[in-house]
Amino acid sequence: MEEYAYILDYLPHGHPESRKFKKEAIAYAVGETEFKLFELIPKPEVGLIVGDRVYIGKNVGEREHIQHVKKRVRYDELTSAAQSELPYVLEEIVRNKEERFVEFFNTAMPVTTKFHMLELLPGLGKKTMWTIIEERKREPFKSFEDIKARVPALHHPEKLIVERILKELSEPEQKYHLFVAK
């Protein structure tokens, strides 16, 4: 269950394709933990800004900005503005939760005898995977900077994570999900 989400797009006059006479304001957001995509109904007279972190958890009394979660949506149901903001918002989440994603590099396991979780990161091949595995045996990684320093072929580990999350969101038929809840 997502507690917090980041706003990707805010439509104060409702969705332009809606046929309702009285359109309600809506916002599109991505969850902070499981990266679920949502359509939210903001509280009246509340203005939202792209990138705002809002509470969407079960405790309705704590919701300052959001009246309720209308529904979960697929990537292709997002507005084009929400889709274009998604990589930037994901990068912010990954930077804010750096410890979680560094831990992924420290604990990623083989999926099969010939395939490793690390290989699911876009652009990461076997040679880099083995370098990561050898380095983490010596000492666990402490930060993205530590990964960059000890694995020369890996210039932006946080961007690989963001690319993988985007792939899982935009291609739900992916066989393996590392970060996005189904």
pLDDT in tens, 19-28: 665 678 999 9
Tokens of 170: 């935009």
Confidence of residue 145 (pLDDT cuts 50, 70, 90): very high
What would the pLDDT profile of 151-175 be if each residue is shown by its tens digit?
999 999 999 999 999 999 999 898 9
Considering the entire predicted model, what is its pTM? 0.92
3-state SS class at 29: strand
State whether residue 24 is helix, strand or coil.
coil
List the domains of the chain with CATH numbers: 4-79 (2.40.50.140), 97-170 (1.10.150.280)
The band of 18, judged by pLDDT with boundaries at 50, 70 and 90, is low
Cβ neighbour number for residue 157 with a 10 Å cutoff: 25
Residue 101 token pair: 């994603």
* Residue-level pLDDT at 38: 97
Q: How many CB atoms lie within 10 A of CB 58?
A: 8
Which residues lie below 8 Å from residue 103, measured CB to CB, with a gap of 6+? none
Banded model confidence at residue 91, pLDDT cuts 50, 70, 90: very high
Average pLDDT over residues 52-58: 95
Cβ contact 5:38 at 8 Å: yes
Cα–Cα distance for residue pair 37/174, rounded to 1 Å: 16
Compute the chain's Rg from CA coordinates: 19
Helix axes 98-107, 126-138, angle to 10 degrees: 100
